Amino acid sequence: MFYFLSKILDVFLTPLTWSVVLVLVGISRPSLRRRAWAALGVVLLVAFSLEPVSNALWRALEYPEVRTFRPDLTYDVVILLGGVVEDRAQASSGQRSFNDNNERLLETFDLLHKGTARYAIVSGGPVDASRAKVVEAQALADQLASWGIDSSRVLVEDHARNTYENAVDSAAIVRAHGFKSVLVVTSAFHMKRAYGCFRAVDLDVDTLPVDFRSYGSPYTGELIPRAKFLEESTVALREWFGRGIYRARGYAK
């Protein structure tokens, strides 16, 4: 139920949806007040399509960064959180397909390759039963193996469909194997929610955020509306809403 509701909210909690609704309200009847609603819809659409707005949203997500990684320690296990595989593209092409979160995978490989972590847990199941042909955790484990990491060092958690389930299922594996020092790797914008989830399941972890996306001062960028900045603002807002919903449900501390 939570997964279904999260997908519904994902549609409605976006600048594009807000703008479309406001414009439709505004043009439904020819009155000054209604036209003001339509104008507000256009303003919102333009504002969230600006680079400074997008960059500011990302920067607020990423900083102050949650980083407790200890480079002098050899960790028993590193947990790689999913959200890296483009399952539909991979299912169609038959080739591995990764998205912009791929630095999570690259950093995990580096930690294993250098011996900074003895084992890895890769966590992520099929997000949709209709697309179960590609299981993210297995795809990530296969990639690590193709890069030369011994498959016995990679533990596959292939059921989790969201960050809270990542934490619950990974914590069970950690406790079953008796791992003591645990490192979580995920994108910087996602780390605060992820860390809150591991705290909620009473698992003490260190954190290593990667994949930083903001740059310069908070309001750096051009003042020309672009579709790519609207998409980036939408992704950032999705994470903000996700944090609030997780805290409200007790999934994260």
- Looking at residue 16, its pLDDT comes to 92
**Tens-place pLDDT, residues 118-131:** 999 999 987 665 55
**Tens-place pLDDT, residues 94-108:** 888 899 999 999 999
Query: Of residues 4 and 227, which shows the higher confidence score?
Result: 227
Q: Is the predicted pLDDT of residue 202 greater than 60, yes or no?
A: yes
Question: What's the mean per-residue pLDDT of the chain?
Answer: 91
Query: Of residues 134 and 19, which shows the higher confidence score?
Result: 19
Neighbours of 220 (CB within 10 A): 13
- Looking at residue 108, its pLDDT comes to 98
Q: Tokens 């260190």 belong to which residue?
A: 206
Of 248, 186, 241, 222, the residue nearest 62 (C-alpha): 186
Q: How confident is the model at residue 166 (pLDDT cuts 50, 70, 90)?
A: very high
Q: Is the predicted pLDDT of residue 32 greater than 80, yes or no?
A: no
Q: Is the predicted pLDDT of residue 54 greater than 90, yes or no?
A: yes
Q: How confident is the model at residue 219 (pLDDT cuts 50, 70, 90)?
A: confident
pTM here is 0.89
Residues 45-56 as b or e (16 or more Cβ within 10 Å = b): beebbbbbbbbb
Which range, of 25-34, 106-115, 133-142, averages the lowest pLDDT? Answer: 25-34
